[in-house]
Amino acid sequence: MATSRFLRPTIIALTGIGLVASLSVMTTSAASAATVIDGPVNLGTAATYGVLGASTVTNTGPSVVNGDLGLSPGTSITGFGGAPNGSVNGTTHQTDAAAAQAQRDTTTAYDVAASLSPTQTGLTELNGLSLSPGVYSGGALALANNGALTLAGSADSVWVFQAASTLTIGSASRITITGGASSCNVFWQVGSSATVGTGAQFQGTVLAQQSVTATTGATVRGRLLARTGAVTLDTNTITASTGCPAPGTPSETTAPAITSGAPTAATAGTPYSHTVTATGTPTPTYTATGLPAGLTINGTTGVISGTPTTPGSSSVTITASNGTPPNDTQTVVITVQPFATPSPTPTPSAPATTPATGATPTASTGGGTAPTGELAYTGSDPTVPLGVAGGLLLTGIGMAVVARRRRRAARS
């Protein structure tokens, strides 16, 4: 026991040292850099057109084109001229020099958009995505019926979509642009033909190699430009983007850089929280691999939280990304401390009993030895009968003395 009492403080001290050293950080961050995108695709004179066709432009119903309407080298524009047909709030260029120049500028813009190096490849379905500025490519791009695509950026942010074959925008789908960005800087380069579905809310400029079709009730904030085929409308509203940045205006985005320090220590069975932060434009999102069991990371806020379940060390790699390379990574080694164990509470000793002052100690009724100089306790107090007996004895003696004196007096 003596050895245990001496060792206990040493063991506690060593345990404390281990807990203090429970977290170490190793940084393996890639260099952060600013990337300047070339800016919006230069449309040249085609920028003023809401609709530009090559073979024909055909409309059904009261469509409205807010911008110029053009056709070249074809000659047939039908379905316009006022109610109940479509109307043009701009200039109509039908097989003239202006339309021919707009077509040449469309070809240049198409080739530039197609030549850009993609930020992300292999896209097909766009529904449910929220995309930061960049170049996105795929084979046949589609947005499902009732689907939603969000483009989040700033006023100078640019998105270019490269569809190797077709672009299909489903009925009642919508494209939402946030953060001050606009349809001015959204471009859809389509290798064959594009279709905008019934009631869809579409944004951006379509640069189609062949034809473009907008079905009943679809609205377009941007432009429908067809290089070799027709543009077909049906009760649509086409509004050419205005107030756009000048061609060549750079759109600057900043690669992410993790700024948060080392996470605090974790303890098994105890709720835990640590926030990862990073700079960058657009706002970065977060992923983490190798987290201790019971912990997760919120990809939007960067909060690592949960209740760890297993003591031990875990190598965790945290990545911040925003579509602008390079991503930033940080690797930390997190040691989860053992479950907290409360210290045992000492059992108090029974207090000693002190006899009251003047009390006479008594012997145990079980036959124990009485204290030195004291009589053993017999179960009754002998002082009372002894007192009574003494009183009776004195009374008897007194009476005997009186009787004897009386007899002597009588003989005299």
Q: Please, are residues 215 and 197 in contact by the beta-carbon 8 Å criterion?
A: yes
Q: How many helices, marked H, and strands, marked E, lie in the chain? A: 3, 32
pLDDT tens digits in sequence order for the chain, 412 residues long: 444 444 444 444 444 434 333 333 333 333 333 444 566 899 999 999 999 999 999 999 999 999 999 999 999 999 998 778 999 999 999 999 999 999 999 999 999 999 998 889 999 999 999 998 889 999 999 999 999 999 998 888 899 999 999 999 999 999 999 988 899 999 999 999 999 999 999 999 999 999 999 999 999 999 999 999 999 999 999 999 988 877 766 665 678 899 988 888 899 999 999 999 998 777 789 999 999 999 999 998 999 999 999 999 999 999 999 777 789 999 998 889 998 766 666 666 666 555 555 444 444 444 444 444 443 444 445 555 555 555 655 666 666 656 667 777 666 5
Establish whether the linkage from the previous residue to 62 is cis, with ω within 30° of 0: no
Domains contained in the chain, CATH given = 24-36+252-337 (2.60.40.10), 40-239 (no CATH)
Task: For residue 146, count CB atoms less than 10 angstroms from its CB and return exposed for 0-12, middle for 13-18, buried for 19 or more.
Answer: middle
Short-list 204, 219, 220, 200, CA closest to 147: 200
Q: How far apart are CA 235 and CA 63, in angstroms?
A: 4
Rg over CA atoms, the chain: 49
* pTM of the predicted structure, to 2 decimals: 0.57
